[in-house]
Amino acid sequence: MDKNANLTIGENTFALNILEGTESEKALDISILRKQSKFITFDDGYGNTGSCESRVTFIDGDQGILRYRGFDITELATNSNFLETSYLVIYGELPTASEIDLFQERISKYAKLPNEVISAINAQPKNSHPMGVLAAGLHALGGAYPDFCTNNRKADLERFDDSAALIISTMRTIAATRHRFLLNEEVPDFDSEERYCKNFLSMMFAKNSVSEEMPDSVVNALDLIFLLHADHEQNCSTSTCRMIASGGANPFASLAGGVSALWGPLHGGANMAVIGMLNQIHDAGDDGSRFIESAKLGKTRLMGFGHRVYRNYDPRAKILKAACDNALEALGVSSPILEIARRLEEEALKDPYFVERKLYPNVDFYSGIILQALGFPTDMFTVLFAIGRTPGWLAHWKEIAETGKKIHRPRQIYQGSTLRPYLSVEKR
């Protein structure tokens, strides 16, 4: 293939370089088009724009492929765990035994929040959404560790290993601290010998201490949810994180921006919408049958089915379905809501209407069911998403800090008023 393409505008022709990724993705390099031609390209919502070159995650939505650093998501879900996968996503390689031990030691070291951060979290109004509290907590955390939070790329990169471990560890502590505060309860002490997710579940729900027993299948299900959400290429929150980082901002500010972007219902709130839909069906006295027919007529929307990127079965959903079944069995959970969910899943997987449109259950469908069964408040579901996505955001911050040469600055097509004279108030 030629290494450039020609773009003709009127009588002028401009040569554009062709970029090719390692998975044969191809792009036209238009980075100097405006300088050469005075034209920019228009792509509303960036749906067909490559904003960067990245080494972190590869997705092929048509084939249902998701890989972190070249490793297939199914293989990682089967053989790895959230912390090992976090290391892979951030640093690019699977860790050796000594590397993962050091990584886990750092994360355990930073699990406890400084008192001023706890005060900042609990000072938020009681009606504050947990995602707003999480973003505020990250800003407070950066203030508590000023040596990690300099807005000087070289200095921030030198302390990145500690910053990354601190943020990964305390994202769960911020969430649990706020949850317990609203219940007028104390967070049980952290146990450095326990797994990441076991500690988090205990901090959230244990009555007395983190040593309380919890079924392995339940801990594994949450670990798997985090692993499956660790990164997902250039989505809204990750692109926001990279945009902020491109200006030289520290990891705490950049990830707080990612949290705020994820907060939106079109991005991180999908698993909450699943539970809302199931409650709506139940309140209507429906077992799901009427809702399915209504969805086929376009009158209602089946939440948790289909995906903007995947035109095939979301590979994460296949993995999470088995974990969902195991966790619910271990918890002994049975409710009309879960029965409705199973019926929707069963019907959608065999009904030609959904199969032909590739409206398969996605990762949000199963994660919402698991999180409700575990007892997480619905408004905390997006916080759980954020905890899982943290290593991906950190990986992209690091990539920008190491390779970024300029601040990101999109262009626009102005459609407002042309030049107008100012009129005094008497003449308006």
CATH number at residue 349: 1.10.230.10
Flag whether 381 is in a domain: no
Give the total number of structural domains in the chain.
Answer: 3
Q: How far apart are CA 122 and CA 99, in angstroms?
A: 35
On the 0-12 / 13-18 / 19+ scale of CB atoms within 10 A, 412 is exposed
Instruction: Provide the pLDDT for residue 25.
Output: 87
Range of the domain at 305: 270-374
Nearest to 323 by CA among 427, 247, 215, 400: 215
Together in a domain, 114 and 17: no
Average pLDDT for consecutive 10-residue bins of the chain (428 residues)?
A: 84 92 90 90 88 93 90 96 98 98 96 96 96 98 95 95 98 97 92 91 82 79 95 96 96 98 88 87 91 90 80 79 81 78 84 85 83 90 96 98 90 94 96
Flag whether 14 is in a domain: yes
3-class secondary structure per residue, 144-164 = HCHHHCCCCHHHHHHCHHHHH
Sequence-separated (6 or more) residues with CB below 8 Å from residue 53:
19, 21
Q: How far apart are CA 202 and CA 179, in angstroms?
A: 12
Together in a domain, 303 and 254: no
Flag whether 380 is in a domain: no
Together in a domain, 243 and 353: no
Flag whether 423 is in a domain: no
Q: What is the CATH number of the domain that holds 19?
A: 2.20.28
Flag whether 410 is in a domain: no
Together in a domain, 293 and 218: no
Together in a domain, 124 and 201: yes
Nearest to 202 by CA among 180, 226, 229, 228: 180
Nearest to 226 by CA among 340, 374, 62, 120: 374
Nearest to 37 by CA among 62, 59, 15, 69: 15
Catalytic residues: 307, 364
Whether the Cβ atoms of residue 223 and residue 197 lie closer than 8 Å to each other:
yes
Together in a domain, 115 and 183: yes
Whether the Cβ atoms of residue 186 and residue 180 lie closer than 8 Å to each other:
yes
Q: In what order do the strands lie in the sheet with 65-68?
A: 57-60, 65-68, 71-72
Flag whether 98 is in a domain: yes
Q: At what angle do helices 216-228 and 196-205 cross, to 10 degrees?
A: 110
Together in a domain, 327 and 202: no
